[in-house]
Structure 1
Amino acid sequence: MTIPIVFAFDKNYFLAAAVTISSLLDNSTEGEHYQIICLYSGLKKDELDWLMKLKDKYGKASFRLVDMKNTFTDAPVLLEHLNYTVYYRLMIPDLFPNYDKIVYSDVDIIFRRGMAGLWQESIGDNYVAGVLDRFVTEDTEFMKKRGFNGRLYINAGFLLYNNKKLIADNVPRNWLDEIGKPLNYYMDQDIINRVCEGHIKRLPLYYNCFSIDPKWKFLSKFPEAEIDEAFKRGNVHYTSKDKPWNNKKRFYRSNELIWWKYYWKLPFGSHKQVLRHFNIFVCRLLNTLVCVTEEKIKRRFSK
């Protein structure tokens, strides 16, 4: 089966996109073929050429690169760790009307499973399918102020689109009309949830899990079977502003090591972004060793 999946990023998330795509292809099963569509902005030819090495390495995907140029560069961005590329997902149905269904994924996700199961999911009469965003829904004051109180609210970082219905009902135009309105604090995510109200299907947690740390406080809000599967091979989504690749602090969570596992599987070359991230990894590793040593010394002398 051929599964079309869209990623959106600029030069700042280029390396992260490569790691995400690599994790998807590394975990795909026999019989899966991916039509990987990259909506990009500000990338140079050598960066695009380097990205295509993933095709050569795995051989079970075709790539389509779409330069979005200055699209949405003037759109409002309310969260500091995001940028205008988050709005690209709102154009997917109109850009690719030849697909009845299509998958969208953020590039701060690590895939630990192929998408065959998702592709066989029935989306019914819904516009989109996604995983419940417990981080947002537990903020009852936010949900009430933004008009989402009591509604199903999903995370927009991983979505299955019912393209055929979205286009038929002119939903993408309604999405675009919502850009910049003050109620949409989480920008594209609020827009999708607001416009698609009543036509959203909830996907299991393991397709888009914010943490596989047993101490994550929102885990208890999901069915036990979904939690078990998420721990085994759920996709991990790094939603906070502190990404595994952009800070030099110690490693605090096993989630972060999963990202670096797939970073090391990239087809390394002399690309400067790869070298920069390698330096970050070394710094984080050294900081972790120093912190662990300090903790051991403190425990020993506190007895």
Structure 2
Amino acid sequence: MHTIPIVFAFDNNLSLPACVCLSSLLTNAHEDTFYDIFILHSSNIVLKKEGLNQISQYYKNCRIQYRQVDSTFDSAFEIRGITTPAYYRLLIPELIPEYDRIIYSDVDVIFRSDLSAIYANTDLTDYYVAGVNSLSHLVPDYKHYYIEKLHLDPEKIIYSGNLIINSKKIKEDNLIPLFKEQAKNDYKFQDMDILNIVCRGKIQYLSPEFCLSTFIVQASIYNNESILKLWNQSDIDKALKQGIVHYNGQKPWKGYCINFDLWWEYYRKSPFFNEKFYFDFFYHRLNIFDQLSLWRRIKILVRYFVYGKRII
């Protein structure tokens, strides 16, 4: 049996997405994979656990534990609707001392494969964290921000939404106080910027399969030559086919976005499926579609049939 520790952090506003995320993780687990799941939440809230309790009843290859987080980040900078639980991943080595290495994931995610291979085979000997390149250098505003404001190489910035964390080395090198100190600053990308600042030079880079963001999908279509400088085509194709889908823009339970159908597919298969919620979402969107002009409908259909299959 392969035990994989994995951490999530969220508040009650993300209870349903969290449950669907966990359901996708466990649905795709191998028979010999056991997920030791840790959920971080503020000590100031009573976390809704009804759906989460169903997880451990419905799936037998897991254990769910809860860890409360103190007020360390209660006054930390918030932007774009991203709240303080985003900072909790910075405390994982302290909050979960049981493991020397551990996976962290946001909950606006759908897992499509087992994590045992990437967890076991990622070399973290000389690294604090492992993650996926964010392609920040392909966005002029982001490139300028990292060069001029943070003095970082924009070609080396990783996402913070899916990480493999070397807790042992972070504790040995006493990085937690540095994380806390950096959290006093109003960084545009909050915890992501803090991790890239503190861990620079000690970051292991993973294939896009570990964090298939909306932007990576778009880049694979419109800027493929640029991302082929980072990854080979087989890595990109594998990510598109079975990678961890990270909805780091529009959320599929709120509106249409790239790969939104995957989220709803896993929602339908999950023990949390509610026909009314499902019907209301799509019925409302069909009404919006019906109100569009003919030319606008044609453009949407062209985009779907030209690019849709490649994205999916």
TM range (shorter): 0.7 to 0.9
Q: Offset at 1:75? A: 1.3
Distance 1:2 1:192 in 2: 26
Q: Which has the higher helix share?
A: 2
Query: CA offsets, 1:121-176, max 9 Å, x none?
Result: 22121000000001466432122112113662100000000111111111111111
Partner of 1:102 in structure 2?
102
1:177-192 counterparts in 2 under 5 A? 177-182=181-186, 184-192=187-195
The reply on whether 1:57 has 2:61 as its aligned counterpart is no
Partner of 1:171 in structure 2?
175
Distance 1:34 1:128 in 2: 20
Gaps of 5+ in 2: 301-312
1:244 to 240, 247, 252: 252
> Residue 178 of structure 1 contacts residue 191 of structure 1 at CA under 8 Å; is this kept in 2?
yes
> Residue 112 of structure 1 contacts residue 233 of structure 1 at CA under 8 Å; is this kept in 2?
yes
TM-score (norm 1): 0.85
Partner of 2:22 in structure 1?
21
1:234 to 225, 231, 243: 243
Q: Offset at 1:230? A: 0.9
TM-score (norm 2): 0.83
Distance 2:40 2:88 in 1: 7
Query: CA offsets, 1:227-262, max 9 Å, x none?
Result: 11012211111111x211123xxx453x11111111
Distance 2:241 2:52 in 1: 29
Gaps of 5+ in 1: none
| DSSP 3-state at the match of 2:269 | coil
Partner of 1:85 in structure 2?
85
Distance 1:218 1:175 in 2: 34
The reply on whether 1:147 has 2:151 as its aligned counterpart is yes
Partner of 2:260 in structure 1?
256
Aligned length: 288
Note closer, same or farther for the CA distance 1:292–1:91 as it changes in structure 2 (3 Å cut): farther
Partner of 2:36 in structure 1?
35
Q: Offset at 1:68? A: 3.0
Distance 1:202 1:59 in 2: 32
> Residue 55 of structure 1 contacts residue 63 of structure 1 at CA under 8 Å; is this kept in 2?
yes
Query: CA offsets, 1:95-139, max 9 Å, x none?
Result: 112201100000111111110111112212100000000146643
Q: Which amino acid aligns with 1:116?
A: S
Q: Which amino acid aligns with 1:54?
A: I
Distance 2:270 2:52 in 1: 10
Q: Which amino acid aligns with 1:63?
A: I
> Residue 128 of structure 2 contacts residue 166 of structure 2 at CA under 8 Å; is this kept in 1?
yes
| Identity across the alignment (%) | 33
Distance 1:185 1:277 in 2: 34
Q: Which amino acid aligns with 1:199?
A: K
> Residue 73 of structure 2 contacts residue 183 of structure 2 at CA under 8 Å; is this kept in 1?
no
Note closer, same or farther for the CA distance 1:166–1:298 as it changes in structure 2 (3 Å cut): closer
Note closer, same or farther for the CA distance 1:298–1:82 as it changes in structure 2 (3 Å cut): closer
The reply on whether 1:74 has 2:83 as its aligned counterpart is no
> Residue 4 of structure 1 contacts residue 103 of structure 1 at CA under 8 Å; is this kept in 2?
yes
Distance 1:69 1:13 in 2: 19
> Residue 135 of structure 1 contacts residue 218 of structure 1 at CA under 8 Å; is this kept in 2?
no
Deviates more, 1:149-158 or 1:80-89: 149-158
The reply on whether 1:209 has 2:212 as its aligned counterpart is yes
Note closer, same or farther for the CA distance 1:297–1:238 as it changes in structure 2 (3 Å cut): closer
Q: Offset at 1:293? A: 7.1
Query: CA offsets, 1:266-303, max 9 Å, x none?
Result: 21378xxx95565334323443466597756899xxxx
